[in-house]
């Protein structure tokens, strides 16, 4: 009896991936800042006790409040999202002892005009 030999399987030929057309490089355009963010606003007397009475943009006011919070270590140690009020910030926070950092912008908007 003749035995049949098993044919050795050839490895499947790998198909070359189709080359994608190179996208043309976009020219980098410098972003123009929104004029609403750059408008100088006057802080209320309560807010002026923290950041000063000079008129400044909303973004700078938030930055100065955060500088004050970090300088005086008022960020809650366990929950970093909370800000503990000291004697200067308590009137700004409407008498609350602690606020969330997400409420900070809303509170500051009431004190900027």
pTM value? 0.68
Residues 6+ apart with CB under 8 A from 85: 74, 92, 93, 96, 97, 98, 99
Q: What local confidence, expressed as pLDDT, does residue 38 receive? A: 87
pLDDT tens-place values along the chain, 113 residues long: 666 666 666 666 666 666 666 666 677 788 887 787 789 999 999 999 999 999 999 999 999 999 999 999 999 999 999 999 999 999 999 999 999 999 998 999 999 99
Token pair 């991936």 is at which residue? 17
Q: What local confidence, expressed as pLDDT, does residue 108 receive? A: 93
- CATH code for the structural domain at 37-110: 1.10.245.10
Q: Domain map of the chain by residue range? A: 37-110
* Distance between CA atoms of residues 2 and 80, nearest Å: 82
């Amino acid at each position: 009896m003749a035995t049949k030999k098993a044919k050795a399987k050839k490895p499947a030929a790998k198909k070359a991936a189709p080359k994608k057309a190179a996208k043309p490089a976009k020219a980098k355009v410098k972003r123009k800042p929104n004029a609403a963010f750059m408008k100088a606003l006057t802080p209320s007397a309560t807010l002026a006790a923290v950041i000063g009475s000079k008129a400044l943009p909303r973004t700078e006011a938030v930055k100065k409040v955060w500088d004050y919070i970090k300088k005086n270590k008022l960020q809650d140690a366990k929950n970093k999202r909370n800000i503990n009020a000291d004697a200067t910030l308590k009137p700004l926070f409407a008498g609350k002892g602690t606020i969330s950092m997400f409420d900070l912008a809303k509170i500051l908007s009431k004190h900027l005009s």
